[in-house]
Amino acid sequence: MTSATSQPGDRLAYRSVNPATGEVLAEFPTATEAEVDQAVAAADAAFAVWRRRPIEERAAVVARVGALFEERIDELAAIITEEMGKPIAEARDEVSFCAEIFGYFADQGPGLAADQPIASPGGGRAVIQRRPVGVLLGIMPWNYPYYQVARFVAPNLVTGNTIVLKHAESCPRSALALQRLMADAGLPDGAYVNLFASHDQVAEIIADPRVQGVSLTGSERAGAKVAEIAGRNLKKVVLELGGSDPYIVLDSDDVAASAQAAFATRMGNTGQACNSNKRMIVTAGIYDAFVAELTRQAQALTPGNPAAGAPDTYAPLSTRAAAEGVAAQIRDAVAAGATLHAGGTLAEGPGAYLAPAVLTGVTPEMAAYREELFGPVAVVYRVDDDEQALALANDTPYGLGGAVFSTDPERARRVAEELEAGMANVNAAEAEGAGMPFGGVKRSGFGRELGPLGMDEFVNKRLLYVSD
């Protein structure tokens, strides 16, 4: 949850650093105690007004948020490319996806929140109502600076909740751009408040009786701390804590194409995605050719400027420290007996470039078997049959997503049915869309965002009974 340049107690902990060059782009102080109280008070006051506006009016404002994402796509994409190294084409895709998310909840939200009639005993009329609960705290990560915010904020604004948003310390310019966009869309003052809070202040905000819930996307360690504080204060919490998703290839009629698709998926956001295919599980008959093609793909790439979007290049990781951390994980695995087929080397200088790696021979005795490798590393496992593939896929403390590929869709579906994950996919890396619920099980967290389920996490599902 912290940037590589922040220090405990540092009033300039929020720093925007270009990971391609190491250049400091902007610095911002953490909030004062008075600013924290003002933010929560503003959100609480706004809730009293925002909740009483008809849901159709709230949805119209949310629709305007989505429209502004499209109108400002160039500006917004450039910010995250500079601030966390996202390739410019992917940055533009992220902004467009945010527009889709806000549009989806603006359009579908009123229906999803409508009263739900249920059978009542002895006559009368009973309905389940979905009512807003109040001020929510969002604690967001750096890897998708807009998308992670959108999937939390959009449904909750439609529902009638208000938001205090604590963004990652390394994404302050992204955070401020979002604050301006929300205000320009017509949200009332306090309905969405950006706050450069410290970790100690986050604990205070969660404990504040005016705050009714907290959503965090981040590390396992951060999630455990937030959940502990929330539990102590009897607050609802939603956690998305990463994963080590299995990507099972049972067979293929074009192994090279299958490997290319797997590699492209792994390189998305330079490997810095919670639901990336971090463990490729491939049957023995196609394993060697699959690994050979992955290796060829990795060796063909050279470091590039993420703002240029040149072909056959790779972008930096979010920070130099992040790149050094993944490189150390690779070295540790190799020292323990794994085989490095390509990449894994750090570029010289202040940039955060790590050559895309292909790693095999990882065994349960190695740290890399259990750890999440949050970077451009394709780890490949050989299995003999479907049963071995499934056992390996589920042998992880995480349970976010997973994918199974086969020329026989029914065979793939049978395996996918047994995945211990919040999202299981057949012959697709993921089912991406504003209407597709996102979330996991086990140490990947709990709760769901997006889709119909995204409307239901922070609402009072109230029973209203009217007797005859």
Least trusted range by pLDDT, from 58-62, 127-131, 212-216, 348-352: 348-352
For the cut 50, the answer to whether the pLDDT of residue 463 exceeds it is yes
What is the average pLDDT across 84-104? Answer: 98
Place of tokens 């929020």: 14
For the cut 50, the answer to whether the pLDDT of residue 6 exceeds it is no
- Among 82, 90, 100, 274, the one annotated catalytic: 274
Taking only the tens place, the pLDDT of each residue in 393-441 is 999 999 999 999 999 999 999 999 999 999 999 999 999 999 999 999 9
Cβ atoms 342, 357 nearer than 8 A: yes
Please name every residue paired with 383 in a beta bridge, in sequence order, or none if there are none: 283
Q: Which two tokens stand for residue 343?
A: 């990449």
- What pLDDT does 468 receive? 87
One-letter amino acid at 415 equals: V
Distance CA 15, CA 463 (A): 47
Taking only the tens place, the pLDDT of each residue in 302-349 is 999 999 999 999 999 999 999 999 999 999 999 999 999 999 999 998
Buried b (16+ CB within 10 A) or exposed e, 311-336: eebbbbbbbbebbebbbebbeebbee
Residue from 204, 199, 330, 311 nearest 271 by CA: 330
418 included as an active-site residue: no
Opening angle at CA 59, ends 126 and 447, nearest 5: 65
pLDDT category at 114 given cuts 50, 70, 90 is very high
For the cut 80, the answer to whether the pLDDT of residue 141 exceeds it is yes
More confident residue, 436 or 3: 436
- What pLDDT does 237 receive? 98
Least trusted range by pLDDT, from 50-59, 117-126, 357-366: 117-126
Query: Quick one: residue 344, left, alpha or beta (phi over 0 = left, psi -120 to 50 = alpha)?
Result: left
For the cut 90, the answer to whether the pLDDT of residue 9 exceeds it is no
For the cut 60, the answer to whether the pLDDT of residue 120 exceeds it is yes
pLDDT category at 7 given cuts 50, 70, 90 is very low
Cβ atoms 263, 294 nearer than 8 A: yes
Distance CA 90, CA 436 (A): 20
Distance CA 204, CA 226 (A): 11
For the cut 90, the answer to whether the pLDDT of residue 8 exceeds it is no
Cβ atoms 361, 337 nearer than 8 A: yes
Q: Tell me, what DSSP letter sits at residue 263?
A: H
For residues 440, 176, 76, 444, the Cα torsion angle rounded to the nearest 10 degrees is: -10
Taking only the tens place, the pLDDT of each residue in 262-305 is 999 999 999 999 999 999 999 999 999 999 999 999 999 999 99
Taking only the tens place, the pLDDT of each residue in 230-265 is 999 999 999 999 899 999 999 999 999 999 999 999
DSSP string of 175-192, one letter each residue:
HHHHHHHHHHTTPPTTSE
Q: What is the DSSP pairing of strand 313-314 with strand 211-217?
A: unpaired
Q: How far is CA 156 from CA 134, 282, 440, in A?
A: 10, 41, 20
The secondary element (H helix, E strand) that includes residue 61 is helix 55-71
Q: Tell me, what DSSP letter sits at residue 352?
A: -
pTM of the model: 0.96
pLDDT category at 122 given cuts 50, 70, 90 is confident
Q: Which two tokens stand for residue 160?
A: 């009638």
Q: What is the DSSP pairing of strand 302-303 with strand 279-283?
A: unpaired
One-letter amino acid at 400 equals: L
71 included as an active-site residue: no
Please name every residue paired with 138 in a beta bridge, in sequence order, or none if there are none: 165, 215
Distance CA 209, CA 215 (A): 16
Q: How many helices (H) and strands (E) does the chain have?
A: 15, 22
Cβ atoms 93, 426 nearer than 8 A: no
Q: Tell me, what DSSP letter sits at residue 132?
A: E
Q: Coil, helix or strand for 79?
A: helix
- What pLDDT does 353 receive? 98
DSSP string of 14-49, one letter each residue:
EEEE-TTT--EEEEEPPPPHHHHHHHHHHHHHHHHH
**Angle subtended by helix axes 88-112 and 55-71, to nearest 10:** 170
Q: Tell me, what DSSP letter sits at residue 345?
A: P
pLDDT category at 12 given cuts 50, 70, 90 is low
- Among 83, 240, 420, 449, the one annotated catalytic: 240
Place of tokens 């049915």: 417
- Kindly report the average pLDDT of the chain as a whole number: 96
Gyration radius of the chain's alpha carbons: 23
Distance CA 267, CA 264 (A): 5
